[in-house]
Amino acid sequence: MNKKVLFFVLPAVLIAACFIPVTQQKSVLIKSPFLSTYSFLANPVKWGHWVPELRKTMDADSSKIQVQKGNNSFTIKGENAEFAVKDQGTFFDITEKTNNRSSNYIYSLVPVDDKFLNKTIVSVTQKLNPLSYVIGEIWPSFNSDNHLADLKAFMETDSLLYGFNIVKTGVPDSKLVAIRKTVLQKNKFAEAAKMLATLNQYIKAKSVKQMYPVIAQFFPRGTDSTQVNVGLFIDREVPSTNEILFSRMPQGGPLVSARYKGEFSKKGEAYAALRQYFSDHVYQLAILPFDTYLDNKLPLNDSDIVNIQINFPTFPIDNPKQNEPK
């Protein structure tokens, strides 16, 4: 081949090479169980919360988010972004159109095979032209539009993933006086108020001090009854009576807690978040949850605004054996 031919052929080859796609794959470790991560990605409603371009629309006007579901697929549209997602079992094929720019990439999920089973490796595979690939190797942020970092940040931030700021605390004191009754559901708030008044009168008569805000439990029993438990932490031991029970709790015993402020009837949202948190982290519930009424007052009705800390008692969570799946 003479020099004249090479002069024309080599530039053509170089130009063609710039358009031959290069497959790029990157992986991250996400501290979330495989099934939780898979279910999260398979739910189109969740995408409006974790993808930044969709979340902007969701925060401004959620009615502008449109979801179309197909057979093992869905499309979710915002004002300036559209994601077409195909659920292929262990991977998701994603076509993204954002600000008139289109890209395609694949998320694949692999569970981490350890004794806790609470982590997942998520890999993204994407075809890029060689120029974009080379620039991305020099400046990684150039090709960071596959949202893998966004997914990891969301899944590992409790306040985003569960909708509540979940913290690890402990039982504040060991000495507790409480009254427990099963009452008609329609009378649960009135009866709880009477129980709290009785406890206050008792500790005043015994010259003991209330140490923390009132705690309470409301559990449905049958179709028309509620189990109501009201308690006060106090500074020293007192004798039990026919109505009032003195008991001891394990002071400092581990609690996983979430703050909730809103209508009493809607606190179930925080309960559901804590149950999901326990499932994801393979925690076990030691005793039934209880609520701390931070304003030291009980609700008057279902629509009353409460400011509470919801507490899920668990076993010591620093002991790995307690967190192993059974």
* pLDDT value, residue 21: 62
Please give the Cα distance from 180 to 291 (Å, whole number): 15
* pLDDT value, residue 136: 46
- pLDDT (tens digit per residue) in 95-105: 999 887 888 99
* Domain definitions of the chain by residue range: 19-156, 168-323
* pLDDT value, residue 24: 78
Q: Residue 305: which of 295, 320, 315 has the closest Cα?
A: 295
Q: Which CATH architecture has domain 19-156?
A: 2-Layer Sandwich (3.30)
* pLDDT value, residue 138: 43
Displacement of CA 174 from its chain's centroid (Å): 30
* pLDDT value, residue 325: 34
**Residue 207, class by beta-carbon neighbours within 10 Å (0-12 exposed, 13-18 middle, 19+ buried)?**
exposed
Domain 168-323: which CATH number of 3.30.420.10, 3.20.80.10, 3.30.43.10, 3.40.50.300: 3.20.80.10
Where the chain has pLDDT below 50, the residues are 5-10, 12-14, 16-17, 131, 133-144, 319-326
* pLDDT value, residue 2: 55
- Which CA distances in Å does 323 have to 57, 64, 207, 287, 317? 39, 42, 42, 16, 7
What are the two backbone dihedrals, phi and then psi, of residue 204, each rounded to the nearest 5 degrees?
-70, -40
